[in-house]
Chains A and B, each alone.
Chain A
Amino acid sequence: MALKLGGLAVTLAIHATLVAAMLFAHRESPAQAAAPPRSFVAAKLVRLGKPRDPKHLPRLETAPPPIAPATPISPSMDPATARPATPAPRPDEAAKLADTFRQARLRALRMGQQFEEPEGLATGSVNGTATTEAQGDAYATAIDQAIRAVWRLPDLVRPEQLEGLVCEVFLRLAPDGRILEHRIVKPSGNRFLDASVVEALARVGALPPPPPDRLALIRQGLTIEFRP
């Protein structure tokens, strides 16, 4: 009998401890439940290897080329067919993003966790902060991507000479996105930056056509601030 009572007392004590622990743990973590969802971070994976001895001199990821090659241009280029260089195709950022999400979801599954895809648009930017086209601007993102693909600043200008500079340009667009007119309304003061902007607009030639809800742009024009 005493043994039964003792066993009961032990069981009760264990259960009471468990209940108290659960209550305590619950009270200690209300902030965790209320924490806002974390923003998405595109992380680089850590390479498998040995940590570098901090006493060693640094190594370059890729050794520099032995001799800088001259830029060859095809001698067969025909003046009649010569066109300004077309921009190199950019990697499909939307596809890359989808792949990142897929891998993150797989990792979460393996760890028995849930992965929530960040809200946004397939055509958005990884650095975008708005979640919908109404809050952000998918059309502005498309313009940004088109122009940055062709915008080049010469190495002649030291980075410190460009700090804080802005070149503002006003553009008029045709309904199909062609740039009908562009003029610098606020020059940056650095002729290389200003020239690079003019050259980028000449090279891009046309921007993505304005979507139906942005047709007013054709009448009103578009202003772009270039910040190197």
Chain B
Amino acid sequence: MRRAFAALALAATASAQGMKIQISGAERARYKIAAPRPLGDADLAAELEDALAMDFRMVGLFDVLDPRGFLAKLDVEGMGIAAPDWTSVGAQGVIKARVTRVGGDAALEARFYEVARPLAPAVERTDRAAVADVRRLAHRFANDVYRHLTGEDGPFLTRILYVRPSGRAKDIVAVDVDGHRPTVLVANGADNVLPAWAPGGDRIAWTSLLWLNPDLFEARLGARPRRLSRHAGLNIGAAFSPDGRTIALTLSKDGNAEIYLVRAADGEILARLTDHPGIDASPSFSPDGAQLAFVSNRQGSPQIWVMPASGGAAKRVTFQGNYNQSPRFSPRSDVSQIAFTGRDERGRFDVFVLDLAAGTTQRVTQNQGDNWEPTWAPGGRLLAFASSRGGIWVATPDGQHQAQIVKGAAETPVWSPMRK
């Protein structure tokens, strides 16, 4: 728990109506949620309970209470709640669910109660999915609860693309944010790197050495890939514009790495955005599509620069550290933040967040191995990154909450757009 607000400000006035005082400076705390084992089919209930707990733990806004401490008589309560039993263990919200098998499907009935208003559920859902997709039932309900509590779309149905080394090759894999359901999207015996999601989440682009040159490929999910850009030299670091029509891409066809804008439909070059003897790479669009962040070593060391997405003068935005790379604009339109990988004076790589308006840099990771390649969750409340600790981790931008979501070797994670 941490004090997020200024300390005491207090004034007292005595009047004919009695005394009036002002109190300020509440401490901030995570929302305490209880998700006891659902009723119904035991196997499905265990899977559902695990998925709900993982979802709420991952986002860093909730304390998921330990079921061993529950006082409620769950069999007597059924789908309702006896508020005093939940108040006693500190729960502010309780999830009650029943999951049963209907043919090859899992049928879910779920309720979320606010303990302060126990008489009627605040959120209800009846849902159905194939038995193999029982975790998706949990994610859909967790999204409902998240929306009810925050007013924002939840990230629980989103997926993360990443590169998985596989023998002498590298594959591209998509995984649910709870680390389940890994799906190999690209495996062709060659190195496939630097994947990117298109804004709709139905298409990806990546660079592959399949034809021995680092060419840009693109594919709709489940469809045959096609080569989108195959200029001699690099065709790497694709970033889709927010409208999905163009891709910012690093090409080295003229000898030096420069950033170009190409048409997403056919890969035709629309504009050359940078023109400098230094290396320019790793473009990332701002959420309104007006700006482009990228890495350039034009002043000696790799630093983050920002320029208009239509081309024009670039402005250096990082001045601390001598090796800053992989910038990613936050998807939040109300702030102007860029997450990036920086190498500190001890030679460790860590994740940082730069606030463009304030000109300040916040450190996200420290003393936890090396951490690279941050990617924002849609909504901008979480970052995911690869770590030398292994796999993919998520963290809140203040670094106070971290959780591992993918185990094993994993590189360059890219969070999908919002999915419902």
Q: Is the CB of A148 within 8 A of B23?
A: yes
A62-111 CB contacts (< 8 Å) to partner B:
63-68, 70-75, 77, 79, 82-85
Q: Is the CB of A151 within 8 A of B90?
A: no
Question: Which residues from chain B contact A226 at a C-beta distance below 8 Å?
Answer: 23-24, 26
A147 at the interface (CB under 8 A from B): yes
Q: Is the CB of A140 within 8 A of B85?
A: no
B119, chain A: closest CB distance, angstroms: 15
A222 at the interface (CB under 8 A from B): yes
Question: Which residues from chain A contact B182 at a C-beta distance below 8 Å?
Answer: none
Question: Complex: how many Å from CA A166 to CA B364?
Answer: 32
Question: Complex: how many Å from CA A64 to CA B342?
Answer: 17
A10 at the interface (CB under 8 A from B): no
Contact partner, B88, options A64, A68, A82, A144, Cβ 8 Å: A82
Question: Which residues from chain A contact B88 at a C-beta distance below 8 Å?
Answer: 77, 79, 82-84
Count residues on chain B whose CB falls below 8 Å from chain A CBs. 76
List the one stretch of B63-71, B184-192, B208-216, B226-234 in contact with chain A.
Answer: B63-71
B223 at the interface (CB under 8 A from A): no
A168-223 CB contacts (< 8 Å) to partner B:
195-196, 198-199, 214, 216-217, 220-223
Question: Complex: how many Å from CA A153 to CA B12?
Answer: 23
B18 at the interface (CB under 8 A from A): yes
Residues A70 and B24 in contact in the complex (CB < 8 Å), given A65-B400, A156-B150 = no
Question: Which residues from chain B contact A148 at a C-beta distance below 8 Å?
Answer: 8, 23, 25-27
A159 at the interface (CB under 8 A from B): yes
B361, chain A: closest CB distance, angstroms: 6
Residues A224 and B23 in contact in the complex (CB < 8 Å), given A58-B363, A73-B89 = yes
Question: Complex: how many Å from CA A191 to CA B252?
Answer: 55
Least CB separation from A85: chain B residue: B90
A53 at the interface (CB under 8 A from B): yes
Question: Complex: how many Å from CA A128 to CA B12?
Answer: 11
A51 at the interface (CB under 8 A from B): no
A47 at the interface (CB under 8 A from B): no
Question: Which residues from chain B contact A128 at a C-beta distance below 8 Å?
Answer: 10
Question: Which residues from chain A contact B362 at a C-beta distance below 8 Å?
Answer: 58
Contact partner, A68, options B343, B365, B402, Cβ 8 Å: B402
A59 at the interface (CB under 8 A from B): yes
A4, chain B: closest CB distance, angstroms: 72
Question: Which residues from chain B contact A82 at a C-beta distance below 8 Å?
Answer: 71, 88-89
Q: Is the CB of A216 within 8 A of B18?
A: yes
Q: Is the CB of B21 within 8 A of A84?
A: no
B384-402 CB contacts (< 8 Å) to partner A:
389, 395, 398-402
Contact partner, A60, options B1, B7, B69, B399, Cβ 8 Å: B399
Q: Is the CB of B23 within 8 A of A225?
A: yes
Count residues on chain A whose CB falls below 8 Å from chain B CBs. 62
Question: Which residues from chain B contact A46 at a C-beta distance below 8 Å?
Answer: none
Residues A199 and B26 in contact in the complex (CB < 8 Å), given A60-B366, A73-B66, A137-B12 = no
Residues A225 and B22 in contact in the complex (CB < 8 Å), given A82-B71, A151-B27 = yes
Contact partner, A65, options B68, B90, B116, B402, Cβ 8 Å: B402
Q: Is the CB of A140 within 8 A of B60?
A: no
Q: Is the CB of A140 within 8 A of B19?
A: yes
Question: Which residues from chain A contact B319 at a C-beta distance below 8 Å?
Answer: 55
Question: Complex: how many Å from CA A221 to CA B367?
Answer: 53
Question: Complex: how many Å from CA A55 to CA B400?
Answer: 25
Q: Is the CB of A55 within 8 A of B4?
A: no
Q: Is the CB of A155 within 8 A of B28?
A: yes
A121 at the interface (CB under 8 A from B): no
Q: Is the CB of B20 within 8 A of A224?
A: yes
B235, chain A: closest CB distance, angstroms: 31
Residues A125 and B345 in contact in the complex (CB < 8 Å), given A154-B31, A220-B18, A225-B20 = no
Question: Which residues from chain B contact A65 at a C-beta distance below 8 Å?
Answer: 400, 402
Least CB separation from A152: chain B residue: B29
Q: Is the CB of A71 within 8 A of B402?
A: no
B61 at the interface (CB under 8 A from A): yes
Question: Which residues from chain A contact B116 at a C-beta distance below 8 Å?
Answer: 195, 198-199
Question: Complex: how many Å from CA A140 to CA B401?
Answer: 36
Least CB separation from A168: chain B residue: B20
Question: Complex: how many Å from CA A76 to CA B231?
Answer: 68
Question: Which residues from chain B contact A53 at a C-beta distance below 8 Å?
Answer: 345
Contact partner, A79, options B64, B71, B149, Cβ 8 Å: B71
Least CB separation from B91: chain A residue: A73
A120 at the interface (CB under 8 A from B): no
A2 at the interface (CB under 8 A from B): no
Given contacts A58-B320, A71-B63, A73-B89, 20 further A-B contacts (CB under 8 A): A53-B345, A57-B352, A64-B395, A66-B368, A66-B389, A75-B66, A75-B68, A77-B89, A127-B7, A127-B8, A136-B12, A139-B19, A140-B12, A151-B27, A152-B26, A156-B61, A199-B92, A199-B116, A214-B19, A227-B9
A-B contacts, 23 of them at CB < 8 A, read: A58-B361, A59-B363, A64-B368, A64-B399, A65-B402, A68-B401, A72-B66, A73-B65, A73-B66, A73-B89, A77-B71, A77-B88, A84-B87, A85-B90, A125-B10, A137-B12, A148-B8, A152-B29, A154-B92, A156-B149, A222-B21, A224-B20, A224-B23
The 9 A-B pairs of least Cβ separation, nearest first, read A73-B69, A220-B18, A140-B12, A82-B88, A137-B12, A64-B399, A57-B321, A152-B29, A63-B367
